[in-house]
Structure 1
Amino acid sequence: MVLAWYLTHPLIDIVIPGAKRPEQVAANAQSADIHLSKSDFDRIDQLFK
């Protein structure tokens, strides 16, 4: 979910996720299909402050 936050954050231009195993690559790719609600986005944003 945090990777989805990175992908939609207006101040972040580039996301370079790490992965050591193929299943991690697949999980990272699935992040592009996660659509965060405004409350999800705001909650994650608050956790990073």
Structure 2
Amino acid sequence: LRLPPEQGSYEVNMDDWMWLIDDKTLANQTVMTKFGIKFAEINIFFRKR
């Protein structure tokens, strides 16, 4: 993923995983790293109605 700053751009690594918890729930986790150092983690849960 290239993130555009004011000048140039940053290239970061993203590790994205999805797990189907049950018939109605999906979990998603994305970890962003730069030079092997984690600087962001996003966890999202989707629930079907």
TM-score normalised over the length of structure 1? 0.23
- By relative contact order (CA 8 Å, sep 6+), the higher-ranking structure is 1
Structure in which a larger fraction of residues adopt strand: 2
**TM-score, with length taken from structure 2:** 0.23
Task: Mark the structure with the bigger radius of gyration.
Answer: 2
Which of the two has greater helix per residue? 1
